[in-house]
Structure 1
C-alpha cells in the first residue's frame, strides 16, 4: 500500500517540480558537478530509530517503478507495532524551496521554524489531502521535501503536520546544513 501512495505522491511532485523551468521562466538551481547529492537512505538506522521510525521498513525510491529524475527518495514506516503512517524524505540539488512554494498543487502554506531552520509547511492538493502533510526547506546542498502520510485516510490517528515536524526536528542533524 505504501509504495502505491508514495508513488502517487512522487508522481505529483515530479509533475509539479520535475521539469527544469518554473512557470516564471527562470532557470532552476544547477547542481554543482563536484557536489554529491544527499541520499536520505544513507541516514543511519540508529538515527531513524531514535526519531521513532522503523528502520527495518526503509524503502528507497518512489515505488511502482516510477522514476524521479533529480530526486533521491527514502521512506520509513512509523513506530513498529502501530505503523499507521509513513515518513518520506525527498532531496534534490536541482530544485529550491521557492519552486515548491510556487507550485499550484501545493496549498495551505505556512512558514515554520524548526531546529534552527526556516521551512514551508504545506499540503499537496490531493483528494485526501488531510491524510498527508509536507515540509520543505532549503539547504546548502539543495532542497529537502519531507512528508508524513497515513496509509489510509480512515486510519489517521493524529495530526500529520505535527508528526512530520516532529520527525524532521529529530532528524535535523542528518540533513545538509542550511
Structure 2
C-alpha cells in the first residue's frame, strides 16, 4: 500500500528534487544560565547528558538543581525528535495524568510512581520537532515541602519561551 502510494506520487508529481529532512532535536542544555537562575534554579549546576556508559539515542538530557537554600530537587529536561506528547498520554503506567497547556502548547502532566524513595512529577510539552519532557525529582526519601507538579509546571512555564517556536 505504501509502495503504491509512493509510486503514484512519483508518477504524478513530475520532477522532484531533494531529500527528506530529519527533524532536528532541540538541545535542552541550550537554556541560558540567566533563564535557569530566573526560574529559581542554581545556574552553576548543569549536568549534561547521561551517566557514563549509558546511551539513549532518542533522548537528549540536561539536569539542573535547585540551590542549596531551597529544598533540594533536580529538574531534568529531556528532548526527543522521535517521541510526542501522545506517547506519555497513551502509556497506562503514568499515574494521575492530566492534559494541560504550557503557553500555547499541548502538554501532558503525570507522576511516575517508580519508587517510594522518589517523589516526582513530569510534563511532556509539544514542540514542532517532537517533545520536550520536564521532570522534577525529589530523591533519596526527601519529602517535598511543595507539590512536585506545581514546581515542574512553574519551571516548564518559565522556560517555554526558549523551546522551538510553534508554527504560526
Distance in structure 1 (CA, Å) of the matches to 2:123 and 2:70: 23
TM-score calculated relative to the size of structure 2: 0.79
Does residue 147 (structure 1) correspond to residue 135 (structure 2)? The answer is yes
The change in CA–CA distance for 1:64 and 1:151 in structure 2 (over 3 A counts) is: farther
RMSD value, Cα: 1.9
TM-score calculated relative to the size of structure 1: 0.75
Distance in structure 2 (CA, Å) of the matches to 1:154 and 1:47: 26
| Contact kept in structure 2, 1:77 and 1:83, CA below 8 Å | no
Counterpart of 1:159 (choices 141, 147, 167) is: 147
Does residue 170 (structure 1) correspond to residue 158 (structure 2)? The answer is yes
Does residue 48 (structure 1) correspond to residue 48 (structure 2)? The answer is no
Distance in structure 2 (CA, Å) of the matches to 1:142 and 1:116: 15
Does residue 106 (structure 1) correspond to residue 94 (structure 2)? The answer is yes
How far residue 124 of structure 1 moved from its aligned partner, in angstroms, is: 1.2
Larger radius of gyration: 2
Gaps of 5+ in 2: 1-19
Q: Deviations over 1:47-76 (max 9, x none)?
A: 111111112110011325321111110010
Runs of 4+ residues deviating >4 angstroms: none
Task: Name the counterpart of 1:71.
Answer: 59
